[in-house]
Amino acid sequence: MDLLTWSDIIIQIVLRLGPVWVALVILFLVSFRFKRSLGLYGKLFDSTIGMIGFAIVMFWVFAGFFAGALDWITTHDPLAQFSGMKNKVPGTPLRGAEDGDFSHFLLGGDHLARDVFSRMIAGSTIVIIIAPMATLFAFMVGITLGVPAGYYGGRLDTTISFIANLILAFPVILLFYLLVTPEIRLTGLPQYMAVVLFLFPLIFFTVLVNSRFHIVPTKRNALLGIGLAVLGILYISLINEAGSKISFLSSIDLFDVDAGLLTVFVSVVFVNAPTVFRIVRGLTMDIKTRDYVAAAQTRGEGAWYIMLWEILPNARGPLIVDFCLRIGYTTILLGTLGFFGLGLAPEDPNWGATINDGRKLLSIYPHPALVPSIALLSLVLGLNLLADGLREESLKD
Amino acid sequence: MALFILRRIAIMLFTSLCLTFVVFFLTNLYPNLEKMAKTQGNFRMNDEAVLSFLENRGYLLPLPVKYGEWLGVYPGYVIEGSDGEIRGRCFKSDQIPSEAPRYCGILQGYWGYSTRFKSDVWGIVTTRLGLTGILMFWVMALMVPSALIIGILAGMREGSRTDRSLSTFSIVTTATPEYVSGVILIAVFASSAFGLKWFKGTATAAMDNPNLENFFLPVVTIAIYGMGYIARMTRASMAEVMTAQYIRTARLKGVSFPNIVLKHALRNALIAPFTVIMLQFPWLLNGVVIVETLFNYKGFGWALVQAAGNNDIELLLGVSVVSVFVVLVTQLISDIGYVYLNPRISVT
């Protein structure tokens, strides 16, 4: 077995990523075929920048999904150490490879003789799950607080804005160091924060349904009953963890979230929510002066109906764009956490931690740190381009 | 105007009080204190030893009392320890205990004692801040002019090829966090694998003697991430100004294009970027922490990481006060500057 040349490495990687290309091609063909009937999503395919961004983002989504759910693409176990592969350059043949093992380390080995390529792909699984989810929760918190603050103004606005500014005045890294340590986890503080922060989607859903359907009580009760049952079970499963400060109702505790992961998740939501709040508040203050809001007020609609069914849908354009940008920013924050070794387990293949591991030998063996760096850069770049394309297209009409 | 500034200063003070209390609360949670005691004493201390260690040094007093001591509105503790030694918050090593002042806190100008560095917090904060100041100065000197030039060049002819390529460049830089660009820059310019070795991959030597070789990479790393954002703001504002009526009038009058950009458009186009540049300071602080860790430059950000990693309560508080101060003062300057630059806006 010989060392692979760079062209061989590229060919092997492209082949290895086969399922991703297939999925991308199918997605683009279908989207192109039906782009006129797909609303804003379809319009995205009119903008080159937007399409490039979307392709990069979906590349990572598919790669992360296939690797995480189906165990494709990765060539070796991302946590396994192989003897003799320490700090080996890209394309090194695996020493003592047995039948069925992939024969090479495509992008080399890291300082603990693990496969860099597999770790990079495995790292994408974590990012594509946590970053959008955390951003979604941050939006739930930001919207639930921001819309009433902007609509009512006055003392409510002053109070919430002050708290938001307070959180924003913290240097993010200091906040992470204060919130994401094993010691803080012992006190249960992240879980208490989770109890509060994860409640917002439930509140949002309840108010959303009630404000619209309170005149048709049977429909409202049915919707609320089903929705709250599902959300409630998810909520209880999320915040509950056996053997920690919060463990009750263990019979309906469906799954346990790793304590480190929960802490990371909560703190990322906590850091993002104030910015979302400020954006939503600003948009609401702008939109509430429009005629259709005045019309709804004259009709005698309830305040919450106006906020959630008149103002919020009309703020969706900037919010969708910011959502894409914010997923990118969340990815950067997750990388920052990994870079400082906070939160997840040290052997975890998330990109930030891998960069941090690799940087110690950067001047001699740059590849273990370069690979996840470029992966992270490309994902965030894809999200930024996607946001740019969406902004351009949503401004057109 | 004076009233506006006074009100803002009052809000600033209140914000700082709230923030330091939050930091104080979090660092004084028992598991954190226990970790600190173990790093101070030794790692094999049992629970009882930890308890008496903390008790003797006044860490187990009620939280408001400790916070009052730190602020200097409550007399510092004097505790006769279980080992017979009398310890006091305000005792200095060469002082007779009876001569020690009763109050010692921020209000008396005493910022506390760093358990990690074994010296006065004020001294550490000022020396580290000085080192970071040099870094920040060069970052600003590189970032602001290049971002403004990129933004103006891109915005003066919207939609042109220059605009497209410069805008793409700005998007790429905003997608490159410091730990990514730092790693890539070190790998390309300082590693033996690529063989360029133009610059040094560490900035430790730059603390005494900053020069191009050891200081260029950290400065560029921070500048890149902030540059794209300022450039995009400048571009947007420039593009908007270029569509204004008075620019068209100037063109119809026959003023040359460079003259239009420099004399007519520039001043109005720079109002929005000014606020953005001021608001970049808090973001730069984050970049500073990452870059100082990456390049091993022992400045303010490095001190923050050291203090947080070792639960060094009083140093962490000092660091928070300074960074919160930076954030709020830049916000204030940005608001005031906005009013001065833009006569259409008034605060009253």
Summarize pLDDT for A124-178 with one digit per residue, the tens: 988 998 999 999 999 999 999 999 999 998 899 999 999 998 888 888 888 888 8
Asked if A47 has any chain B CB less than 8 Å from its own CB, the reply is no
Among A62-71, A106-115, A376-385, B182-191, the least confident range? A106-115
Q: Which amino acid is at A40?
A: L
Asked if B192 has any chain A CB less than 8 Å from its own CB, the reply is yes
With H, G, I as helix, E, B as strand and everything else as coil, classify residue A333: helix
Q: Which residue has the higher pLDDT, B178 or A253?
A: B178
Closest among A18, A266, A13, A231 to A130, alpha carbons compared: A266
Per-residue pLDDT, A342: 85
| Chain B residues in contact with A181 (beta carbon < 8 A) | 32
The distance of B277 to chain A (nearest Cα, Å) reads 16
ipTM of the complex: 0.86
Across the range B50-71, mean pLDDT stands at 83
Domain residues for the domain of B39 are 2-110
Grade residue B98 by pLDDT with cuts at 50, 70 and 90: low
Per-residue pLDDT, B96: 65
| Cβ–Cβ gap B29/A187 under 8 Å | yes
| Cβ–Cβ gap B29/A339 under 8 Å | no
Grade residue A244 by pLDDT with cuts at 50, 70 and 90: low
| Chain B residues in contact with A364 (beta carbon < 8 A) | 191-193
- Residue B347 inside a domain? The answer is no
| Cβ–Cβ gap B308/A186 under 8 Å | no
- Residue B116 inside a domain? The answer is no
Q: Mutation test of the interface with chain A: which of B26, B27, B283, choosing the one with the most A Cβ atoms within 10 A?
A: B26
Per-residue pLDDT, B344: 67
A367-385 tens-digit pLDDT: 888 899 999 999 999 999 9
B35, B186, B324: residue with CB nearest A183:
B35
Instruction: Label each residue of chain B as H, E or C.
Output: CHHHHHHHHHHHHHHHHHHHHHHHHHHCCHHHHHHHHHHHCCCCCCHHHHHHHHHHCCCCCCHHHHHHHHHCCCCCCEEECCCCCEEECCCCCCCCHHHCCCCCCHHHCCCCEECCCCEEHHHHHHHHHHHHHHHHHHHHHHHHHHHHHHHHHHHHCCCCHHHHHHHHHHHHHHCCCHHHHHHHHHHHHHCCCCCCCCCCCCCHHHHCCCCHHHHHHHHHHHHHHHHHHHHHHHHHHHHHHHCCHHHHHHHHHCCCHHHHHHHHHHHHHCHHHHHHHHHHHHHHHHHHHHHHHHCCCCCHHHHHHHHHHCCCHHHHHHHHHHHHHHHHHHHHHHHHHHHHHCCCCCCC
Distance (Å, whole) CA B203 – CA B292: 8
Q: Are residues B135 and B164 in the same domain?
A: yes
| Chain A residues in contact with B319 (beta carbon < 8 A) | 174
Q: Which amino acid is at A46?
A: D
Q: Which residues pair with B113 in a beta bridge?
A: B120
| Residue of chain B nearest A379, judged by CA positions | B175
Asked whether residue A211 carries a pLDDT value surpassing 90, the answer given is no
Q: End of a domain among B110, B136, B151? A: B110
Q: Which residues pair with B87 in a beta bridge?
A: B79
Asked if B257 has any chain A CB less than 8 Å from its own CB, the reply is no
Averaged pLDDT of chain B:
83
Distance (Å, whole) CA A317 – CA A286: 14
Q: How far is C-alpha A103 from the chain's CA centre? A: 34
- Residue B57 inside a domain? The answer is yes
Q: Are residues B52 and B98 in the same domain?
A: yes
B131-172 tens-digit pLDDT: 998 888 999 899 999 999 999 899 888 888 888 899 889 999
Q: Mutation test of the interface with chain A: which of B183, B184, B284, B288, choosing the one with the most A Cβ atoms within 10 A?
A: B183
Residue B348 neighbours by CB distance under 10 Å: 6
Asked if B184 has any chain A CB less than 8 Å from its own CB, the reply is yes
Asked if A6 has any chain B CB less than 8 Å from its own CB, the reply is no
Asked whether residue A269 carries a pLDDT value surpassing 80, the answer given is yes
Q: End of a domain among B110, B133, B151? A: B110
| Chain A residues in contact with B32 (beta carbon < 8 A) | 181, 183-184
Among A354-358, B60-64, B181-185, B192-196, the least confident range? B192-196
The distance of B39 to chain A (nearest Cα, Å) reads 14
Averaged pLDDT of chain A:
86
- Total domains in the fold of chain B: 2
- Residue B119 inside a domain? The answer is no
Among A218-227, A275-284, A327-336, B193-202, the least confident range? B193-202
The distance of B327 to chain A (nearest Cα, Å) reads 6
Across the range A188-213, mean pLDDT stands at 88
Distance (Å, whole) CA B95 – CA B98: 8
Q: Are residues B242 and B160 in the same domain?
A: yes
Per-residue pLDDT, A99: 65
Q: Are residues B179 and B253 in the same domain?
A: yes
Asked if A373 has any chain B CB less than 8 Å from its own CB, the reply is yes
For the entire predicted model, the pTM comes to: 0.89
Q: Which residue has the higher pLDDT, A134 or B60?
A: A134
A15-68 tens-digit pLDDT: 888 888 999 999 989 988 888 887 778 888 888 888 999 999 999 999 999 988
B19, B286, B311: residue with CB nearest A172:
B286
CATH number at residue B154: 1.10.3720.10
- Residue B314 inside a domain? The answer is yes
| Cβ–Cβ gap B15/A186 under 8 Å | no
- Residue B241 inside a domain? The answer is yes
The distance of A9 to chain B (nearest Cα, Å) reads 18
The distance of B76 to chain A (nearest Cα, Å) reads 26
Per-residue pLDDT, A243: 65
Residues 290-329 of B with CB under 8 A from A: 290, 293-294, 301, 304-305, 308-309, 311, 316, 319-320, 323-324, 327-328
Interacting residues of A315 by C-beta distance below 8 A, sequence separation 6+: A280, A283, A284, A287
A169, A186, A374: residue with CB nearest B31:
A186
Distance (Å, whole) CA B337 – CA B281: 15
Across the range B25-45, mean pLDDT stands at 82
Asked if A395 has any chain B CB less than 8 Å from its own CB, the reply is no
Asked whether residue B319 carries a pLDDT value surpassing 70, the answer given is yes
- Residue B318 inside a domain? The answer is yes
Q: Are residues B46 and B180 in the same domain?
A: no
The answer to whether residues A173 and B304 touch, using CB atoms and an 8 Å cutoff, is: yes
Among A314-323, A345-354, B81-90, the least confident range? B81-90
B19, B192, B293: residue with CB nearest A170:
B19
Q: End of a domain among B47, B81, B110? A: B110
The percentage of residues in chain A with a pLDDT greater than 90, rounded to a whole number, is: 27
Residues 33-52 of B with CB under 8 A from A: 34-35
Q: Are residues B164 and B290 in the same domain?
A: yes
Q: Are residues B143 and B96 in the same domain?
A: no
Among A8-12, A211-215, B343-347, the least confident range? B343-347
Asked if B204 has any chain A CB less than 8 Å from its own CB, the reply is no
The answer to whether residues B322 and B285 touch, using CB atoms and an 8 Å cutoff, is: no
| Residue of chain A nearest B32, judged by CA positions | A183
| Chain B residues in contact with A335 (beta carbon < 8 A) | 177, 179-180
B221-255 tens-digit pLDDT: 999 988 888 898 889 888 888 888 988 999 899 98
Q: Are residues B235 and B283 in the same domain?
A: yes
Distance (Å, whole) CA B17 – CA B11: 10
Per-residue pLDDT, A56: 94
| Cβ–Cβ gap B175/A380 under 8 Å | yes
Q: Are residues B187 and B106 in the same domain?
A: no
Q: Are residues B133 and B95 in the same domain?
A: no
Q: Are residues B315 and B288 in the same domain?
A: yes
Q: Are residues B148 and B92 in the same domain?
A: no
A171, A381, A384: residue with CB nearest B286:
A171
- Residue B117 inside a domain? The answer is no
